[in-house]
Structure 1
Amino acid sequence: MEILSALTVLDVRSLLLGVAVFLVVFRFLRRPRNLPPGPWGWPFLGNLPQLTWYGGELHENISKLTARYGKVVSVNLAGISMVVLHGHDTVKEAFSRQELSERPPAYMTQKVAPGRGFLSSSGESWIEIRRFTMAVLKKLGVGKSAFEQNIVTEAEMFIEEVQSHGGKAFDPKHAMSNAVSNIICTVVFGRRFQYTDPAFEQLLKVVHEFVLQVGAGSVFEFSPVFNKLTMLPFVRTYVACLRSTFDHINLLMKEHSKEKSADHQEDLLDIFLSEKKIKEQHGVENAALRPENLKHIVRDVFGAGSETTATTLLWGMLYMMAYPEVQVRVQKELDDVTGRNRLPRIADKPELPYTEAVLCEIHRLETIVPLSVPHASTEDTTIAGYNIPKGTTIMANIWHNHFDPLVWEEPEKFRPERFLDGENKFRPREELMPFGSGRRSCLGEQLAKMELFVFFTYLLHHFTIKKPDHVPAVSCEGKYGIMWVPLKFDICATVRE
């Protein structure tokens, strides 16, 4: 019996050793030659455990790999063979190339809501959808000086809301999201909503839920493994958030099709339906105008022009509380240019170099999308001398680029002066890329920059932002969902004389 028991233990050990050897040999033989280097991973899970389960944020942990593997690193996240790019030169060169401008399959989203927007589409469909969306935004004046009044209207409403608290502590997040989201509502639905409108409140709720609660689920959107494991809690949460978002967008679109108010203006939905009708009459097929794509385009426009902007402005408030001396200098610059009797305008921007430098430094320190939106290769190609097989998922570690000590002196410190030259004039730096780079850079960049400038200058022109007395210290800690967002915080806003 003892001999049989010993043989059984030996057989089990031999079996385990054989499986381990097989996996190693299989991986070695299966792995194409000259791929970018990277760490070995677990079967099925890949590098998921060491990159996400042992502390630290995903973008930080991947960044640490560059010390051993260089600027181009291969990782595997639960079946996603991914190449992560580091260094602004590497990212700029790679993302300017057509063969690296596709999107990987969005498995979960397509199950919930088939269709494509300009964020998720690829190839000719992407070209047509992006061209259509840009034409609509141009027609509606988005990004142009004429659109400034739409932003000013909401900025003034925001200022009134802040002033209503009488200098007492309050959480500015809801008011900021209301204001910025309403700007996009004028583009998409042709009207602004009252902040107490139930439909508007529900829209903000589902969007916030999606941004804050999905967590790592957004990474596994592109995983051929995890999209099938719907019993996992974070996958269920992600799918529920997706479904809720699209259900509410569909509801608002149906409401839009009903009788419109007298003050209704032409909007994205009107132009979509009008263009679709014209194309159908002429028998012309256009990928952008397929009915299933409209809800995706609407979601993408909100994502590109509201949540990222509102989040950046919230970070701006935090930094003004944490660095009152910077706030004082911005206010002095504003007063020198505009005086106390008029509000800043976008035309004043060239005369406000320090203010613009502060906004850039906030972009750098609190990179809203640390790992960019995934790209995919359409053919076998190379990056930095390494082979990149067709279909590889490619991401840019924007956070790494914004904290690279070889580029930014003392990168952990808040120093707006790094965006000024020797004469204190604004100095743009190509290493800063909060809106991405290349062919798939953010379509809403110009709108976002206008919104950021108007809201930030209006806020500091009217108020001094202070830390509430009950808060021991200002915390600039964040939380990573789809975006890097600040933890809940309160401010006190006292009216300036």
Structure 2
Amino acid sequence: PGLIQLLFNILHLRKAPLKVFQKWAEKYGPIYRVRIGTHDAVFISDPKLLKERFSNINSTGRAYNPVTHYFGHGNGISQGHAWEAQRTFTVRKLRDFGVFKSSNEGFLMDGAKALVFNGPVISGFWRIISGENSDWESAKKSEIIKRTEVLTEAINNTSLLFFAPFLRHIAPTYFGWTGWTNAVDSILEFAHTVEKHSKHLDSNSPRDFIDHYLLKIKETTDPTSSFYQQNGVTSLEAVVGDLLAGGSETSSTTLSFVTLYLLLHKEAQSKAQQELDHVVGLSRQVSLADKPLLPYTEAILLETFRVSSMAAFGVPHRMTADTMFHGYFLPKDSTVISNLYAIHHNPNIWGKDVSEFRPERFLSEDKTRVIHHEALMPFSTGRRACFGEGLARDTIFLFVAHILQKFNIEQNSECPVMAAETVPGFVLQPKPFKFVLRLRN
């Protein structure tokens, strides 16, 4: 896009970035570049091209931007050898604690039965991270939930700073910088539980993720390592912040979208309930073992991922080397952005009814199997895809299945919802709405 057009759209980007970048994808094709000053941002709006690009090691850098850098002073969103080491260690330890196993089904179902949308993930992660149990009325958990919600709202207000970071010096409050730094500082306060752990660390009996990480710091002697001494402590606090922020808000926002779509599409709700009645009945609770037998229920979730496209642009990647890609030159240090919203709303991929909520598009012709579409990438793709995807999918499935098994989602007669409306920004959320959960007969 030319400079005049870019300047014309710059304020529009803050209010409706999705429509602007989708429009440019239609006009300029699956790969296009936006330049603001000396900064290049390359948008990829084709699923096959995106998977190819993000699977390449040259695309695994994290774009330097003051917004992402401020979260953990650059440690939470690391790159290169530091990223490989941090991700490998974190995934291994979380797997050891059973985060990715069906053994977590118990605490997930506790949250579903309590109808707490963002409680179970917070409780589970906090227990595994810090060793502390957190009941549903816990003041600490309520505060974590509140602060992660504020963080999501804050990042939506920083949209323009990803492309024009200098604006934070011109009007920091208007362009969201002040709100973002306050929100990050707030969520990272919970990461300071590291200090308490270090005072009571028993090298022979580590209790939780933080203890294992502190032992890793203790045994690290390489000054260049991201685990070394104070670098390690800073990295640990950033990782804890990442897990808390990402682990809670993603699932809770998706559940809000599912509720909204089912409120507006009673026929989809009815079909899922008929399926649940046939497979599970009312005498027992739904389990993950039922998932293969509940294709329509799962299709509702997949269609929710597509239509909502909550993480509309994923997390920006940075090119670590000059690269030629399908005739396009991607210079080192340029930012590569996955235009997931445009991919998920491309009529050439999904058909003319792309704007409609239709779970059947993810089912086989006989409606007995789920068809996983390669163009659906709600958790991004490639080497840096979200490692908590499996847990998030299981959480959302159990919640939705439990709610539909027990309740009807109905309109609030005093303020009925007429359409699915979202709060504009890079991380989409539904506008606040009211509904009624009524026990089924």
TM-score (norm 2): 0.91
Name structure 1 gaps, 5 residues minimum.
1-38, 159-174
Alignment of 1:232-381 (within 5 A): 232-233=173-174, 234-246=176-188, 248-254=189-195, 266-280=207-221, 286-288=225-227, 290-381=232-323
Q: Hey, what's the Cα distance between the residues in 2 that align with 1:47 and 1:483?
A: 22
**3-state secondary structure, aligned to 2:396:** helix
Quickly say closer, same or farther: Cα 1:265–1:114, change in 2 above 3 A.
same
Alpha-carbon contact 2:111-2:117 (below 8 Å) kept: no
State the 1:218 CA deviation.
5.0
Q: Does 2:27 match 1:68? A: yes
Does the alignment pair 1:400 with 2:365?
no
SS in 1 for 2:302: helix
Q: Highest CA radius of gyration, 1 or 2?
A: 1
Matched, 1:412 2:351: no
SS in 1 for 2:349: coil
Alignment match, 1:445: 389
Aligned residue for 1:421, secondary structure, equals coil
Give 3-state SS (helix, strand or coil) of 1:422's partner: coil
Distance 1:155 1:73, change over 3 A: same
AA of the residue aligned to 2:86: I
Secondary structure of 2:35's counterpart equals strand
Assess, with a 3 A threshold, how the Cα gap between structure 1 residues 157 and 201 changes in structure 2: closer, same or farther: same
**What letter matches 1:58 in structure 2?**
P
Q: 1:47 to 1:197 in 2, by over 3 A?
A: same
Q: Which residue of 1 aligns with 2:410?
A: 466
CA distance in 2, matches of 1:71, 1:356: 29
Report if the CA contact (8 A) 1:358-1:416 is conserved: yes
- Structure 1 307/104 Cα, relative in aligned 2: closer, same or farther at 3 Å? same
Query: Match for residue 51 of structure 2?
Result: 92
Task: List gaps (5 residues or longer) in structure 2.
Answer: none
Which amino acid in structure 2 is aligned with residue 67 of structure 1? Answer: E
Structure 1 residues 48 and 315 mapped into 2: Cα distance closer, same or farther (>3 Å)? farther
Question: Which residue pairs with 2:89 in the alignment?
Answer: 132
- Distance (whole Å) between structure 1 residues aligned to residue 329 and residue 360 of structure 2: 40
C-alpha deviations, 1:156-185, integer Å up to 9, x for none?
332xxxxxxxxxxxxxxxx32234322322
1:10-41 CA distance string (max 9 Å, x none) = xxxxxxxxxxxxxxxxxxxxxxxxxxxxx111
CA deviation vs aligned residue, 1:51-86 (integer Å, no higher than 9, x gap): 542786212211111233211111134653201011
Q: Pick which of 73-82 and 90-99 moved more.
A: 73-82
Percent identity between the aligned chains? Answer: 28
Change (3 A) 1:192 1:460: farther
Question: Paired residue for 1:121, among 74, 78, 103?
Answer: 78
C-alpha separation in 1, matches of 2:138 and 2:183: 21
Determine the C-alpha separation between the residues in 1 that align with 2:180 and 2:223. 37
Aligned partner letter, 1:275: K
Question: What is the CA RMSD across the aligned residues, in angstroms?
Answer: 2.5
The amino acid across from 1:147 in the alignment is N
Aligned length: 432
Is the 8 Å Cα contact of residues 36 and 163 (structure 2) preserved in structure 1? no
| Contact 2:13–2:160 (CA under 8 A) maintained in structure 1 | no
Q: C-alpha distance in 2, partners of 1:226/1:49?
A: 16
